[in-house]
Amino acid sequence: MRLPFFSLVSILVSAGALADGVSDFGTTNRPFRQADLRPHLRDEEGYSENWGFNVWLPNGDFVAAEAIVSNIGFGDHNGGFKLRYLPSDGEKCVCQKEYDDDEWSWARDGFELVFGRNRISGGQQGYHVRGSCGNVSMELHFANEAAPAVPGSGLIRFGQDGLYSMMFPTPRARVTGWVSCNGKKRQLEGIGYAEHSWANMLPHKQMRRWFRFKAIRPDISIAMAEMETTPDYGHARRGWVLASDSGGKLILSAAPRFEFSHFIRDKKAPAGYTVPRMVTITASEGKTRVSGKLIMTGLKKIEDPTAKLGAIKRAIVRRFMKPRDYYLNCRYEIEIEKDGTTRRVQGEGFYRFMYVNP
């Protein structure tokens, strides 16, 4: 078994005819339901579901736990669990383990996922993550400062062909706990953020590319993203902007506008791989407004998700997907207008421009 977010899989899928249109999330954010987090366990070959819980520490360290269920590869509803501890300096610890469909379980009431010695559980007030894999283990307690939220309906329809869903069980949380890397245990306190998404179509049939940016800071948490669909779906663009602080949600817009400009070409890649040096953002929810820009300051790194595949499998995968993931250092300047006041957020970070196919 191979999982889509841990390693790319070799699947032969024929190209389809021009597809129907793509819906949007809608402009009214529906309430979050705890049942939304439970596995959907779709039957389609392209079904994949992801739960990601992340923590940013004051010293720059990053801690993450990720659960996946997927039909992509051999067998249906197989699972995986991945743990990461990425210090700002020093040795990182990363471990992932895969599970057959009868080796993991989930609760029919409330919310709980169990993958061997790894577990995610909780409710709208917060979540508990426990993980142990190889040389890394952790226990994390997420106390939500912002309530779980859904962008619009939480669902995008790709005509009659498939669905994409996104929600935020933790827009912002105070996290306490510990992480152990190579036998060295560290207590931690940081800011948490979590996403849950699922789709029932293969990635290269849905998306041409993604844009993503996060600024998770002690004073505020900002997350934004935009997908561009394949030509079969008219290069439709859908995304969100989410901002929260210790007082709760500031804004969740399911209809933002991103303008990408000052493109430069990757001269070491085939034609079609270009990245924007500037991103301009506008978004609103009710009377709350967000505006801002990201200005590229340099290249952080470029990743090819197929690089670690064997030669034969890589050749098969690249018949359908030629992914390339750009991490671009930036300076960000964002303003949030709410309740008659303007909040200015400035700093340095990075955004990602990820091609499934150019």
Q: What DSSP designation does 148 have?
A: -
Of the pLDDT bands very low, low, confident and very high (cuts 50, 70, 90), residue 90 is confident
* pLDDT score at 135: 96
* pLDDT score at 40: 96
Domains of the chain: 34-355 (2.40.370.10)
Cβ atoms of 229 and 207 closer than 8 Å: yes
| pTM (2 d.p.) | 0.92
| Tokens of residue 266, six digits | 């990757």
Each residue's pLDDT tens digit, 301-327: 999 877 766 777 667 677 778 899 999
* pLDDT score at 321: 82
Share of the chain above pLDDT 70, in %: 92
Query: Which helix or strand (DSSP H or E) is residue 316 part of?
Result: helix 311-317
Opening angle at CA 237, ends 27 and 350, nearest 5:
100
Of the pLDDT bands very low, low, confident and very high (cuts 50, 70, 90), residue 74 is low
* pLDDT score at 305: 79
| Tokens of residue 92, six digits | 């990182």
With b for 16 or more beta-carbon neighbours within 10 A and e for fewer, the 288-314 pattern comes to bbbbbbbebeeeeeeeebbeebeeebe
307 CB-side CA count, 13 A: 6
Each residue's pLDDT tens digit, 93-124: 999 999 999 999 999 999 999 999 999 999 99
Query: Distance between CA atoms of 236 and 23, rounded to whole angstroms?
Result: 9
- Beta bridge mates, 232: none
Closest listed residue to residue 142, CA positions, set 174, 107, 116: 174
Cβ atoms of 65 and 179 closer than 8 Å: no
φ, ψ dihedrals at 72, nearest 5°: -75, 125
Each residue's pLDDT tens digit, 167-206: 999 999 999 999 999 999 999 999 999 999 999 998 899 9
Cβ atoms of 212 and 225 closer than 8 Å: yes
Mean pLDDT of 134-142: 98
Each residue's pLDDT tens digit, 243-265: 999 999 999 999 999 999 999 99
- Is 18 a residue whose pLDDT tops 50? no
Of the pLDDT bands very low, low, confident and very high (cuts 50, 70, 90), residue 1 is very low
Residue-averaged pLDDT of the chain: 92
